[in-house]
């Protein structure tokens, strides 16, 4: 069975969060991907906290996680040597040949370990429940309930469908896979240790991961490891100089999306001892090596504030990129407190660490049925913006020199209420401007005078000297934003009477209300047509639905009226209470 992209909450990408996610992609897409904080999720923890591995449940769950803008997906895939396939169920499934002959025979041959679980469908509610499955029966394999058709192949079909459904410039995103490789346990011992497959039971060339992710559908959108190696000569080596430039150079997301038309990167994660003999060499041109795209980063959290007490990459003693060793740094959260979660996730992003959710946010309920906490996880880790920002408080047709209600320009606010997060401001207000020094990621300079947003680029150029170049710019990662924030704080501490607490950053939505650009006051939105199309669709579909309901209601009323009219004409009371049928004139 092929899975399709069908999120249960299609409004997750709405008029508010859509522009935020788009701006985040465009801003972080300007720097190497290994420096960007991408929020991620352990798929098995989010989709199967109840040990149910149902294809329908996974279709809803993965679709919801994708629509919530998770970018990093950690998959636990299990090699089923009985059926010679990779699946998501931790137990080997009954032989597919046996399934084709007799379900009853399967049940009797392994009755001690396996029973058939009939999935029930509720007729009293339109809302799906965890026990429902449109797919018929699940196999009870010890503590697990598994679908026969939940294979890694079917998951790849869903991601191909997602790529097709989000092919516009405004919706396209790069997705990252990390694959933890396991051997499935025996059907007769679902809770026992997994056996080590013999040499002839190991994956063959046609069933190996490299072949599966390079199938005809996904191959055009896959960015393989070999292509990165060939592209290195074209990458900008001036960004983030390091002692090991070959290891650290990586491409940018916008380059992958718009030059390569690539949407998927796949890397190895952990590998069970039982699968140590897997032929990784055959996949080496396609799948990134283990540890190449992920570094588990340790950190400690203040349990009362959510602040990082250790592990933050911000270093107040240096702005030298070679001393700030951020490289695919993943911070795993295993039990985020509901109260502290927004602070913790925001602090991880601000410290240059990608927050990876390694547990369920909804207890034993799958993200297929409880979606909101996962969207909250993403919005809490979004780059830059303060909660509730950007406020949509301006009229549709903004003008740079327009009236005071034109809130289409962004500032970094260092005051305690914002703590370095971004908010919208009237473009005609006057603030100091943030200027990047010599294209370095962590060096900033502020203009000595407060200026309007329109004058910020010229004001930054005026701060350059013989040895440095300065340009009006915006932070491109959470860590860059932290460096700018602390630079503003340091300026305030040195001259509290005159130093600015609020500074312009190069981010505005003057060209289009749903499109934040980083190309200055006169920048244009490259996605205006896509955004208008999405807006029209959001308006048109509910309108058509409402008109259809109205038409059906009117039709029902007319049919009822016509029926009553015909009945009244047919039976009329005569003299003495007798009834007679009317004769049409």
β-bridge mates for residue 114, sequence order:
141
* pLDDT number for residue 179: 99
pLDDT band of 167, cuts 50, 70, 90: very high
Kindly give the pairing relationship between strand 329-333 and strand 114-118. Answer: unpaired
Percent of the chain residues topping a pLDDT of 70: 79
Cα angle 237, 238, 239 (rounded to 5 degrees) comes to: 90
User: What pLDDT does 304 receive?
Assistant: 86
Three-state secondary structure call for residue 82 = coil
The answer to which of 67-76, 245-254, 444-453 has the lowest mean pLDDT is: 245-254
* Residue 390: cis peptide before it, omega within 30 degrees of 0: yes
Give the Cα separation of 346 and 357 in Å (integer): 14
Whether the CB-CB separation of 512 and 531 falls below 8 Å is answered with yes
Place 391 in a pLDDT band, splitting at 50, 70 and 90: confident
- Nearest-angstrom CA–CA distance, 220 and 217: 7
Distance, in Å, from the CA atom of 561 to the CA atom of 568, rounded to the nearest integer, reads: 11
Q: Given this model, what pLDDT does residue 129 score? A: 39
**C-beta of residue 350 within 8 angstroms of C-beta of residue 380:** no
411-450 pLDDT, tens digit each: 999 999 999 999 999 999 999 999 999 999 999 999 999 9
Work out the average pLDDT over 155-178.
96
Are 8 and 371 in contact, with CB atoms under 8 Å apart? yes
User: Quick check: 469 pLDDT over 90?
Assistant: yes
pLDDT 10s digits, 486-503: 999 999 877 776 678 999
Beta bridge partners of 354: 330
Res 275: pLDDT: 98
Ranges 136-140, 315-319, 327-331, 551-555: which has the least confidence: 551-555
- Give 76-107 pLDDT, tens digit per residue: 999 999 999 999 999 999 987 644 443 333 44
Among candidate residues 72, 33, 446, the one with its CA nearest the CA of residue 240: 33
Query: Which phi-psi region, left, alpha or beta, contains residue 46 (left: φ > 0; alpha: ψ -120 to 50)?
Result: alpha
What's the rounded Cα separation, in Å, for the pair 185 and 80?
8
How high is the mean pLDDT of the chain? 85
Could you tell me the pTM of the whole model?
A: 0.84
434: β partners: 446
* Cα 184 to Cα 436: distance, rounded to the nearest angstrom: 52
pLDDT bin (cut points 50, 70, 90) of residue 585 is very low
Give bridge partners of residue 374 from the DSSP assignment: none
pLDDT over 70 at 577, yes or no? no
Rounded to whole angstroms, the Cα distance separating 188 from 192 reads 9
| Dist CA 122 CA 139 (whole Å) | 20
Q: How confident is the model at residue 108 (pLDDT cuts 50, 70, 90)?
A: very low
Sorted by where each begins, the domain ranges of the chain are 10-380, 409-526, 530-581
Q: Quote the DSSP letter at residue 12.
A: G
Q: How far, in Å, CA of 550 to CA of 529, rounded? A: 31
């Amino acid at each position: 069975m092929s899975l399709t992209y069908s999120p249960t909450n299609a409004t997750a990408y709405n008029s508010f969060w859509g522009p935020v996610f788009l701006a985040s992609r465009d801003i972080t897409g300007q720097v190497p991907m290994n420096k960007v904080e991408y929020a991620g999720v352990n798929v098995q923890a989010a989709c199967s906290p109840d040990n149910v591995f149902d294809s329908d449940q996974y279709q809803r769950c993965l679709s919801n996680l994708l629509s919530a803008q998770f970018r990093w997906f950690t998959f636990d895939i299990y090699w089923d040597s009985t059926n010679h396939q990779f699946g998501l169920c931790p137990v080997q499934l009954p032989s597919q040949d046996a399934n084709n002959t007799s379900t009853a025979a399967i049940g009797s041959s392994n009755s001690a370990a396996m029973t058939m679980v009939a999935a029930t469908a509720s007729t009293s509610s339109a809302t799906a429940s965890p026990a429902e499955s449109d797919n018929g029966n699940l196999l009870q394999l010890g503590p697990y309930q598994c679908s026969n058709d939940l294979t890694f192949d079917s998951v790849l079909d869903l991601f191909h469908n997602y790529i097709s459904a989000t092919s516009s410039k405004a919706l396209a995103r790069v997705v990252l896979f990390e694959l933890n490789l396991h051997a499935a346990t025996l059907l007769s011992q679902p809770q026992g240790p997994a056996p080590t497959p013999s040499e002839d039971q190991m994956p063959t060339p046609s069933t190996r991961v490299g072949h599966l992710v390079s199938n005809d559908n996904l191959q055009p959108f896959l960015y393989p490891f070999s292509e990165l190696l060939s592209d290195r000569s074209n990458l900008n080596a001036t960004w983030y100089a390091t002692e090991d430039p070959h290891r650290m150079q990586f491409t940018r997301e916008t380059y992958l999306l718009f030059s390569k038309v690539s949407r998927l990167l796949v890397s190895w994660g952990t590998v069970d001892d039982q699968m140590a003999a897997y032929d990784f060499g055959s996949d080496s041109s396609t799948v990134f090596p283990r540890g190449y795209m992920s570094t588990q980063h340790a950190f400690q959290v203040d349990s009362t504030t959510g602040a990082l007490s250790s592990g933050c990459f911000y270093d107040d003693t240096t702005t030298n990129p070679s001393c700030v060793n951020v490289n695919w740094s993943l911070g795993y959260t295993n039990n985020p407190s509901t109260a502290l979660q927004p602070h913790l996730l925001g602090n991880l992003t601000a410290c240059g660490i990608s927050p990876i959710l390694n547990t369920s946010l909804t207890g034993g309920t799958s993200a297929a049925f409880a979606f909101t906490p996962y969207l909250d996880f993403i919005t809490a880790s979004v780059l830059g913006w303060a909660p509730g920002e950007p406020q949509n408080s301006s009229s549709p047709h903004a003008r740079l020199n327009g009236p005071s209600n034109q809130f289409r320009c962004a500032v970094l606010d260092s005051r305690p209420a914002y703590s370095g997060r971004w908010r919208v401001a009237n473009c005609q207000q006057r603030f100091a401007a943030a200027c990047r020094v010599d294209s370095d990621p962590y060096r900033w300079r502020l203009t000595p005078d407060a200026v309007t947003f329109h004058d910020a680029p010229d004001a930054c150029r005026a701060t350059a000297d013989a040895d440095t170049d300065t340009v009006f710019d915006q932070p491109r990662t959470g860590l860059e934003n932290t460096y700018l924030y602390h630079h503003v704080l340091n300026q305030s501490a040195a001259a509290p009477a005159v130093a600015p607490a609020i500074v312009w950053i190069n981010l505005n939505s003057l060209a289009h209300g749903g499109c934040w650009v980083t190309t200055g006051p006169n920048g244009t939105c490259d996605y205006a047509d896509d955004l208008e199309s999405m807006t029209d669709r959001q308006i048109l579909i509910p309108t058509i639905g409402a008109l259809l309901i109205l038409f059906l209601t009117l039709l029902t009323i007319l049919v009822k009226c016509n029926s009553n009219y015909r009945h009244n004409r047919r039976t009329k009371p005569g003299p003495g209470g007798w009834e007679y049928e009317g004769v049409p004139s």
